[in-house]
Structure 1
């Protein structure tokens, strides 16, 4: 795993837009940064820094239907990844400011979808209204080996579905193998 983490370097480990199931998806920015750059001092983050872990983030858009966010965070061990997932889940989440956004509901934990290739999955859903239409964001946090993958799919309520998000997460996990 250490060799894999070091080989990532500044290369973004998130799926290329053409590799995201469904769509067509268009990449809307992405970046990499040293894991822990936000200032966390947890033991899992400290060990991730010691192995020179690089976090990858990429946003995508399925024009007129949905937005997608993927974050890939390598850790020093599967135990550290599981601990970090709990820490990531506890971070406050905010909806991006958008014209037409209103009635943002509370994020609530839901039963996670089955995601092949993972050892632990947690999920949440957050309703909102966008341009007068009911919408929602579906979020999955999962552990795949030494890595945490966070994926959020948002859009009109009838357009974003858990099986679609599970398929995207499975593609991302497979790309890491």
Structure 2
């Protein structure tokens, strides 16, 4: 896995829009950066930096239906990935400011979906109103080998489902090989 992490370089490890199940999806920006660039000094992040881990982030949009965010973070070991997941899960989350956004509910932990290729999954959802329509964001944090994958799917409540997010994350995990 160490060779794979180093081979990622600055290439974004997130799926291309055309590789996502469902859709059609359009990529809405992406970037890579050295893991831990945000300033974390946890032992897991320190070891990830030592192996030159590169975090990948990409946003997507399924026009008129949903927005998707995927983040891929390689760690030095499966144990570090689990610790990294716990650290990521504990970070404060904010909803992006958007005209028409109101009644943002609390982030609520829910039973996670089953996601093939992972050893640990945590999930949460958050309800909100967008332009007067009931909407929500579904989020999963999961460990696949030495990597943490975070994915969030948001949109009108009737348009997004946990099986859809699980299928997307399974495709992302499979692409990591």
Distance 2:172 2:121 in 1: 14
Q: Secondary structure at the match of 2:118?
A: coil
Aligned partner of 1:31 in structure 2 is 31
Q: Secondary structure at the match of 1:70?
A: strand
Q: 1:67-107: CA deviations, max 9, x gaps?
A: 00000000000000000100000000000011110000000
Q: 1:25-76: CA deviations, max 9, x gaps?
A: 0000000000000000000000000000000000000000000000000000
Aligned partner of 2:156 in structure 1 is 156
Q: Secondary structure at the match of 2:6?
A: helix
Aligned partner of 2:68 in structure 1 is 68
The aligned runs of 1:90-129 (5 Å cut-off) are 90-129=90-129
Aligned partner of 1:44 in structure 2 is 44
Size of the aligned set, in residue pairs, is: 177
**TM-score normalised by length of structure 2:** 1.00
Distance 1:52 1:87 in 2: 19
Aligned partner of 1:84 in structure 2 is 84
Distance 2:79 2:170 in 1: 20
Structure 2 gaps of 5+ residues are none
Distance 2:91 2:135 in 1: 22
Distance 2:64 2:97 in 1: 18
Aligned partner of 2:143 in structure 1 is 143
**TM-aligned CA deviation for residue 147 of structure 1:** 0.0
Structure 1 gaps of 5+ residues are none
Q: 1:87-131: CA deviations, max 9, x gaps?
A: 000000000011110000000000000000000000000000000
Q: Secondary structure at the match of 1:168?
A: helix
Aligned partner of 1:19 in structure 2 is 19
**TM-score normalised by length of structure 1:** 1.00
